[in-house]
Amino acid sequence: MTDLGSQLLILYLRLGSGVVLGWGLGRILPATVPAQLGRFLYWVGVPLSVIAFLRGAKLSGAVWLAPAIAWLAIGLGASLALLWLKFNPKTESKLTQADLRAFQGSFLLSSMVGNTAYLGYPIVLGLGGERYFAWALFYDLGGTLFGAYGLGVAIAARLGATEENSRTWFAPLLNNPTLWSVAVGLGLRRVALPEAGERGLHLLAWTTVALSLVLMGMRLSQIRFWKNWQPAAVSLTIKMLLVPSLLGMLLSQFGALSWERFVLVLQMAMPPAFATLVIAETYDLDRELAVTSLSLGTIALLLILPMWVVLFSPT
């Protein structure tokens, strides 16, 4: 078995054990526990892990291409989703105008933004290591974050049934501690820490990765219904197959560095982000479609991840 094949097997064991543990805990613990764990990871765990992983990440001028590629992926996903909506008459014949708009909003969101943090970070770290973590980080913060809470909120405000003020889209961005931790991490890259401090920081960082997978399982355990699986399958085909395949081949043609390209393809191939469900609930979009896309996408990732390793891994 190749080194990358071994890493993939270990990654599956980590993903499976973390998510299954979270699923079991989510069924027996109070419903408030996932929210509390999520707040801890959001405000403490993830920011500190970003600081730790940035210390060992390879930074170059080219890393700033990651947000541009992320926006290209978001735009391509939205364009393909709009094409499907335009040429799918079955949708219009079955829904009222309000329900149709809600359906379109959730379909667009599920086709655009992926879970590039809580799921993307562990997968990239497991297959690419800390050296290329910066590419995943800048893809997430410069692309997915603004794509979800910027463009995504604007779309939801336009198509949703609620009267939420779309001008508040910037609040989740400005209040996101991970953004601020990037500045801190970059400033501390050249600051020498005691060996015990370095080990402790990395231990906390990898503990955060494990807890992120547990949180994924907890949240999935709270999902009670899967409906609209056919349009969900279409949005997942766009988000997790077409976009990574097309842009991955494009990056290959332009001579992108192999490991960097691999990390970008992995981030493009992530299932829909939990932010899509949050936005769908806030703006009264099609919650059933958002839930089904998120759930099926997480399962589908386990099936198609080896394909991306075969097609785009550097070894």
The model's pTM: 0.87
SS3 196: helix
Chain mean pLDDT for the chain:
85
Please, which pLDDT band fits residue 1 given cuts at 50, 70 and 90?
A: very low
Highest-scoring range by mean pLDDT, 31-35, 79-83, 153-157, 204-208: 79-83
Calpha distance 76→80 (Å, rounded): 6
Amino acid letter for position 76: L
Name the residue with tokens 């503990």: 207
For 213, residues 6+ apart whose C-beta sits below 8 A from its C-beta are: 14, 15, 18, 19, 22, 118, 119, 122
User: Residues 96-101: contacts with CB within 8 Å, 24+ apart?
Assistant: 98/161, 99/286, 101/159, 101/160, 101/161
Highest-scoring range by mean pLDDT, 67-76, 168-177, 210-219, 224-233: 67-76
What is the average pLDDT across 224-237?
84
What is the average pLDDT across 185-202?
84
Calpha distance 183→278 (Å, rounded): 27
For the stretch 284-312, pLDDT in tens is 888 889 888 988 998 899 899 999 998 99
What is the average pLDDT across 163-187?
68
What is the average pLDDT across 181-207?
85
Please, which pLDDT band fits residue 71 given cuts at 50, 70 and 90?
A: very high
Calpha distance 57→115 (Å, rounded): 21
Handedness of CA 124, 128, 134, 135 (dihedral sign): negative
Closest Cα partner for 266 from 217, 312, 206, 209? 312
What is the average pLDDT across 24-36?
89
For the stretch 236-285, pLDDT in tens is 999 999 999 999 999 988 765 688 999 999 999 999 988 888 888 878 88
Handedness of CA 170, 140, 110, 226 (dihedral sign): negative
Q: What are residue 272's DSSP bridge partners?
A: 114
Handedness of CA 25, 28, 29, 30 (dihedral sign): positive
Instruction: Identify whether the C-beta of residue 46 lies closer than 8 Å to the C-beta of residue 117.
Output: yes
pLDDT at 148: 87
Tell me the chain's radius of gyration from C-alpha atoms: 19
